[in-house]
A and B are shown apart, each in its own frame.
Chain A
């Protein structure tokens, strides 16, 4: 890769995504003397972890806001060309450069760079339940954005369900914002959290913060059901009723499982994060499935290089590691770019990258346990009734997926061809996980064998040309 000729025009490196990983990568690249550009579809840096909206601010800054403002200030002061509010719809390699086609409100733009760091982050994992297509149901990640960036409550009386650290974060933010939490439904038994105490204490600050949230919610008498998952949401907006049932270790609801029910006006549910792999898949990099990294992720070496020349990946997109580890991966990727571009000698690189790798491993420990505690076993889809919607875009119920498998579908590509599952406006990003789990359970094949839906162009929906138009 170090044999790539330096471009006469364009950037030494383009960074796609200005979240914790991408921002750190661009800052480090500039510090190493590389001509760097950063591209993000949001109007300011921070990504989903530090999502902020200009014009809306808390009077008293909280931790996420402070951390995010620091990232934004550092990036703003760095010698990096920023393309915010730009959506990259297509990328291709035209030697010796990557050509990125971006769309903004003012039109199209081509961005050329010799090397590309993909830091496109993660998307939320969703497991269906009866009635999840009703108005008033949103993801936990969506609730985080509504509460922390938009400062709008999901509802006045909210059921918060799923798994992982967002449960407490969202519930606490609802209570702080003047709303009520009807109940917290956590798929994991409390013992799963205690069993991870050692890893949790690798970041005492974050562990303490979580513990304080728990105490505050407990003190307010918020009902918490551990080892339960949502069974159904019924009723009409905004008078909803959520039912949850006890699950076994694999996420299955047994026939005789105890059931609890709560009236509510909103339901927030999510099961952790999965790497967003659209870009790296479209560019032909190798991917692998590893639950410890959030599922399908691009394969990288110790220095964040993909197995495609000139392509690097950092942060949750390369495997969910969390916002603490992501900046270290970004910096490691930028150092590899500098070395491969001949701007950093081997010895100098080794010396500089050593400390970053050590910090990265430490930060990954905490992120790793969060990834595990936010996920739920494959069995979570086994209990779905035949009429439960799996693919909301195409209005496909579980029964349709089952029928396709009875006809011989054993991969995601075959399922898509047979049913249109995942061909709608979301490009399969919402239904892929549950559809893949259904095939895995029915065929006893591995997720590696079942595969993913094919990547659909454009890479990101482009204003004026959204599917369904």
Chain B
């Protein structure tokens, strides 16, 4: 299987592969990963937060729950993607 994600493969043990939804697309993630890491690994690094307008901006800037720029609607609740672990079938959206 070829892998074009930004995940470091060599020397890393990961949980099981899962899929979750992001604005109607299916994204691959691994148990234990944050939603932010899974999106970033898939090359999804910018979106327009729903309290803002304009072009997509930086998202995972602090990766530790400080900057709030990666906030997304996850299962209907607005939370930081960097602090939320992925699960199979998770419903993730940029806008409510």
Known contacts A56-B32, A463-B79; A123/B66 CB under 8 A? yes
Task: Please name the residue on chain B nearest to A42 by beta carbon.
Answer: B83
Contact check: which of A139, A147, A392, A425 meets B71 at CB < 8 Å? A425
Query: Counting CB contacts under 8 A, is A309 at the interface?
Result: no
Number of A-B residue pairs at CB separation under 8 A: 161
Contact check: which of B43, B69, B83 meets A392 at CB < 8 Å? B69
Encode A142-170 as 1/0 by CB contact (under 8 A) with B. Answer: 11011100111111100000000000000
Distance in Å: Cβ of A44 to nearest Cβ of chain B: 11
A143 to B82, CA, bound (A): 12
Query: Counting CB contacts under 8 A, is A188 at the interface?
Result: no
Interface size on A, residues (CB 8 A): 56
Give the segment of A129-137, A286-294, A342-350, A441-449 that binds chain B: A129-137
Give the segment of A8-16, A57-65, A210-218, A366-374 that binds chain B: A57-65
Task: Please name the residue on chain A nearest to B59 by beta carbon.
Answer: A135
Contact check: which of B31, B37, B57, B68 meets A425 at CB < 8 Å? B68
Instruction: Please determine whether B43 and A152 come into contact, CB atoms closer than 8 angstroms.
Output: no
Interface residue SS majority, chain B: loop
Interface size on B, residues (CB 8 A): 50
Distance in Å: Cβ of A56 to nearest Cβ of chain B: 5
Task: Please name the residue on chain A nearest to B33 by beta carbon.
Answer: A150
Query: Counting CB contacts under 8 A, is A221 at the interface?
Result: no
Encode B75-91 as 1/0 by CB contact (under 8 A) with A. Answer: 00111101101000000
Residues of A within 8 A of B59 (CB): 135
Residues of B within 8 A of A393 (CB): 68
Residues of A within 8 A of B7 (CB): 151-153
Residues of A within 8 A of B62 (CB): 123-124, 138-139, 141-142, 430
Query: Counting CB contacts under 8 A, is B19 at the interface?
Result: no
Known contacts A59-B13, A153-B6, A461-B65; A468/B58 CB under 8 A? no
Contact check: which of A58, A237, A463, A467 meets B12 at CB < 8 Å? A58
Residues of B with Cβ closer than 8 Å to A?
5-15, 30-34, 37, 40-41, 43, 45-47, 49-52, 54, 56-69, 71, 77-80, 82-83, 85
Residues of A with Cβ closer than 8 Å to B?
41-43, 48, 51, 53-60, 123-124, 132-139, 141-143, 145-147, 150-156, 177-178, 237-238, 392-393, 395, 424-426, 429-430, 460-461, 463-464, 466-469
Closest 4 CB pairs of A and B: A55-B32, A135-B46, A468-B51, A425-B68
Can you give 30 A-B contacts (C-beta < 8 A)? A41-B65, A53-B33, A53-B34, A55-B32, A56-B30, A56-B33, A57-B13, A58-B13, A59-B12, A123-B64, A132-B58, A134-B46, A134-B57, A138-B60, A138-B63, A139-B61, A139-B63, A143-B63, A145-B64, A151-B14, A153-B6, A177-B10, A425-B51, A425-B71, A426-B69, A460-B65, A461-B65, A463-B77, A466-B80, A467-B51
